């Protein structure tokens, strides 16, 4: 059956103390909104509607980055959750199938939980996601009779008996789309806040002779993000989940608690990740590669058998082929290294192509930026670049070429040639001692004069 996703993302998030819309705060370097959309992706929604409010244009842009086909609607006034869902009515006009309502600030709902809710829809007209709370606090309570959900009671309106219930409301709800909007038409705002709440839906369903049921999940799935402290807590949960999954998939994490993941990090089986490695967005590491300690990777691809680090930085656009070696204090940006190439020490390689089995000596720099434009350096196969070589782009080094240490290369080097580009050395006899004596005299005079 077709399924529509209605994702509520209109909240300002006052407690975040931020100008950024709440759903655009990040865990794992991805907006909370994307995490919620990723959860829903597992049920393959036929239609997706994101309801925006505060910071609507920014939220819309973020939603469309994840799914260009998403419908985005605006809730001009925040008048409660039922009112927010109501804004999706026009976008889903004529839709036949189930609708499931999620929240953009709740990033940990698991795909199997949503699948269980849709499965429960074969038995109930309305399905609500509930959880057993260790500390029910001020959550709404789910009042059940056997397997049937009778109603949802807000804490402020609950009796002592109802407050003793530990089965709490997550806010997530599923129903036939047409039924959901029919019931929304009956939701009133006769409450202290004067708002329209989704929590009225189960009771309204019963008045129509429809059934309502509960699917239970772990409390951790329902964590909503409302403050910086909760955001930090969510980041910790996310990192723990990613580390566990990586190890379950066959990745060796030598010190798991020190490795930082992004939401889209991909690590191949039998890859080895040493301590204090940071994976920023857009990183893929293939089977058998090794990322050594204190390295930072972003927007790059590392092929099997490659070794990176320690203390290496791979920036966006970096592509390492099989068995490439990148050593300590090396920075790469928008660089492609062919099989077996090596950049082992203290170098910057940017906007460059390096051929197979080439060796880049310590202290090499591709001078790729002239202050306005970026320029390319092309290095062929089996090239040996001597230590402390400056490659002033645009420049090409042919296969089997070589540069002498300390050279500044400003012209192309043909294949098999040796390029020497440095000033002639001259030794001034005895000049070092004379120069130091002169400098010491100047220093002594300044100290005497108090200058």
Half-sphere exposure of residue 113, counting CA atoms within 13 Å on the CB side? 25
Task: Judge whether 432 lies within some domain.
Answer: no
pLDDT tops 90 at residue 232: yes
pLDDT of residue 400: 98
**Strand pairing partners for 336?**
319, 353
Kindly state whether residues 202 and 233 are assigned to the same domain. Answer: no
Average pLDDT (206-224) is 95
> Among residues 222, 237, 261, which one ends one of the domains?
222
How far is 445 from 442, CA to CA, in rounded Å?
Answer: 5
Tens digit of each residue's pLDDT (9 = 90 or more) over 347-359? 999 999 999 999 9
pLDDT tops 70 at residue 253: yes
345 is catalytic: yes
Tens digit of each residue's pLDDT (9 = 90 or more) over 275-310? 999 999 999 999 999 999 999 999 999 999 999 999
Kindly state whether residues 233 and 361 are assigned to the same domain. Answer: yes
Average pLDDT (138-155) is 90
Kindly state whether residues 218 and 174 are assigned to the same domain. Answer: yes
Task: Judge whether 448 lies within some domain.
Answer: no
Task: Judge whether 434 lies within some domain.
Answer: no
Task: Judge whether 450 lies within some domain.
Answer: no
> Among residues 188, 222, 256, which one ends one of the domains?
222
- E-state strands within 282-341: 284-285, 290-291, 296-297, 300-302, 307-308, 313-314, 318-320, 325-328, 331-337
Kindly state whether residues 181 and 246 are assigned to the same domain. Answer: no
Kindly state whether residues 56 and 189 are assigned to the same domain. Answer: yes
The H-assigned helical ranges of 89-224 are 111-120, 160-163, 177-184, 201-207
The domain that holds 402 is classified in CATH as 2.160.10.10
Catalytic pick among 206, 296, 345, 375: 345
pLDDT band at 137 (very low <50, low <70, confident <90, very high): confident
3-state secondary structure of 424: coil
Kindly state whether residues 302 and 218 are assigned to the same domain. Answer: no
Our count of domains for the chain comes to: 2
Tens digit of each residue's pLDDT (9 = 90 or more) over 355-392? 999 999 999 999 999 999 999 999 999 999 999 999 99
Tens digit of each residue's pLDDT (9 = 90 or more) over 308-322? 999 999 999 999 999
Kindly state whether residues 37 and 108 are assigned to the same domain. Answer: yes
Task: Judge whether 356 lies within some domain.
Answer: yes
Task: Judge whether 333 lies within some domain.
Answer: yes
- 22: number of Cβ within 10 Å: 27
Contact status, residue 277 vs residue 295, Cβ threshold 8 Å: yes
Kindly state whether residues 334 and 197 are assigned to the same domain. Answer: no
pLDDT tops 80 at residue 413: yes
pLDDT of residue 451: 62
Cα–Cα–Cα angle for 115, 119, 123, rounded to 5 degrees: 155
Average pLDDT (41-49) is 95
Kindly state whether residues 184 and 71 are assigned to the same domain. Answer: yes
How far is 255 from 252, CA to CA, in rounded Å?
Answer: 9
Task: Judge whether 108 lies within some domain.
Answer: yes
Kindly state whether residues 360 and 316 are assigned to the same domain. Answer: yes
How far is 165 from 188, CA to CA, in rounded Å?
Answer: 25
Tens digit of each residue's pLDDT (9 = 90 or more) over 168-194? 999 999 999 999 999 999 999 887 778
| Domain encompassing residue 335 | 228-419
pLDDT of residue 136: 87
pLDDT of residue 6: 98
Kindly state whether residues 315 and 196 are assigned to the same domain. Answer: no
Kindly state whether residues 190 and 247 are assigned to the same domain. Answer: no
Task: Judge whether 372 lies within some domain.
Answer: yes
Q: Which of 41-45, 219-223, 257-261 has the highest mean pLDDT?
A: 257-261
């Amino acid at each position: 059956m077709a399924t529509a996703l209605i994702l509520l993302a209109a909240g300002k998030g006052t407690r975040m103390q931020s100008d950024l819309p709440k759903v655009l705060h990040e865990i794992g370097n991805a907006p909370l909104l994307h995490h919620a959309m990723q959860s829903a992706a597992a049920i393959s929604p036929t239609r997706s509607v994101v309801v925006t409010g505060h910071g609507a244009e920014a939220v819309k842009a973020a939603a469309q980055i994840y799914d260009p086909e998403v419908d985005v609607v605006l809730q001009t006034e925040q008048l409660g959750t039922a009112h927010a869902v109501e804004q999706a009515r026009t976008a889903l006009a004529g839709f036949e199938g189930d609708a499931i309502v999620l929240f953009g600030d709740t990033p940990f709902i698991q795909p199997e939980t949503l699948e269980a809710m849709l499965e429960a829809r074969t038995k109930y007209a309305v399905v609500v996601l509930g959880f057993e709370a260790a500390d029910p606090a001020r959550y709404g309570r789910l009042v059940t009779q056997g397997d049937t959900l009778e109603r949802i009671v807000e804490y402020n309106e609950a009796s002592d008996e109802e407050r003793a219930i530990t089965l709490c409301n997550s806010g997530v709800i599923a129903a036939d789309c047409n039924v959901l909007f029919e019931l929304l038409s009956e939701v009133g705002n006769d409450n202290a806040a004067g708002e329209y709440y989704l929590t009225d839906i189960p009771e309204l369903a019963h008045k129509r002779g429809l059934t309502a049921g509960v699917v239970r999940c772990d409390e951790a799935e329902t964590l909503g993000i409302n403050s910086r402290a909760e955001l930090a807590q969510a980041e910790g949960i996310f990192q723990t989940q990613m580390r566990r999954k990586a190890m379950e998939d066959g990745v060796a994490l030598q010190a798991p608690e020190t490795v930082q993941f992004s939401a889209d990090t991909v690590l191949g089986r039998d890859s080895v990740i040493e301590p204090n490695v940071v994976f920023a967005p857009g990183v893929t590491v293939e089977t058998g590669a090794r990322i050594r300690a204190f390295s930072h990777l972003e927007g790059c691809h590392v092929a099997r058998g490659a070794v990176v680090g320690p203390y290496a930085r791979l920036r966006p656009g970096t592509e390492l082929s099989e068995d490439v070696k990148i050593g300590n204090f090396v920075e790469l940006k928008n660089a492609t290294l062919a099989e077996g190439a090596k950049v082992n020490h203290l170098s910057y390689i940017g906007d460059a192509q390096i051929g197979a089995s080439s060796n880049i000596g310590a202290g090499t720099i591709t001078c790729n930026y002239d202050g306005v434009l970026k320029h390319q350096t092309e290095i062929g196969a089996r090239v040996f670049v001597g230590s402390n070589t400056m490659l002033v782009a645009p420049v090409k080094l042919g296969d089997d070429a070589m540069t002498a240490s300390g050279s500044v290369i400003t012209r192309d080097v043909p294949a098999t040639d040796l390029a020497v580009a440095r000033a002639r050395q001259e030794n001034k006899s005895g000049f070092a001692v004379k120069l130091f004596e002169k400098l010491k005299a100047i220093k002594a005079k300044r100290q005497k004069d108090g200058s």
